Amino acid sequence: MAKSGYKGISRIDCPENKTVGWYVRVRLNNVTKSKFVSDQRNGGKESALQRAIECRNQLEKELGKPRTDWVIVGKSRRNRSGVVGVRRTAKKYRGKDGTVYLNEVYEVTWNAGREKRGRTSVSISKYGETSAFRRACAIRRQKEHQLYGNVVTSKWAESFSKVCAA
């Protein structure tokens, strides 16, 4: 959280460059939109902050980003499963005889609070590729519902449900 107390809004105080105001920045799916809100043009520091909050909310709507103070992660080139918080990986475990084995799994991760992360996995050898992926997506949706409440309608949420349905 920025010092302003609002996500995506930072204070810039540089009078020698005539830059005094709030800097708004919103990012989703490798697209960044930003705007500078001047104190002088908006009637002072407090009214400029209110205008910056309005600008941030508008920029989030333009990008299709849900309005929340939590971190929302969009598409990433590193995510090969197509679903945020679900990845295919191999887990190592040691047998009774000391031999190291690999088990292919879909690993599910989520925020379990501001300072904690949750993690579980679904075995591909036990459930099969498709069923394991669907189970992992269901776990991720359940954890998001527990943490955030009702589903947020946005471009991000729609793409998430399409990928999990496949």
Say what the pLDDT of residue 159 is: 60
Say what the pLDDT of residue 116 is: 82
Say how many residues make up the chain: 166
Alpha carbons within 13 A on the beta-carbon side of 137: 18
Task: Report the 3 state secondary structure along 54-118.
Answer: HHHHHHHHHHCCCCCCCCCCCCCCCCCCCCCCEEEEEEEEECCCCCEEEEEEEEEEEECCCCCEE
| 121-142 per-residue burial string, b: 16 or more CB within 10 A, e: under 16 | bbebeebeeeebbbbbbebbbe
Q: CB count, 10 Å around CB of 72?
A: 20
Say what the pLDDT of residue 108 is: 92
Say what the pLDDT of residue 112 is: 76
Amino acid at 89: T
Domain ranges of the chain: 9-63, 86-165
Helix (H, G, I), strand (E, B) or coil at 31: strand
The pLDDT profile of the chain, 166 residues, written as one tens digit per residue, is 456 678 889 998 888 888 899 999 998 877 889 999 998 888 888 899 999 999 999 999 998 887 777 666 666 666 777 787 888 989 988 888 989 888 899 999 888 777 788 899 999 999 999 999 999 999 998 888 887 776 555 555 566 566 556 5
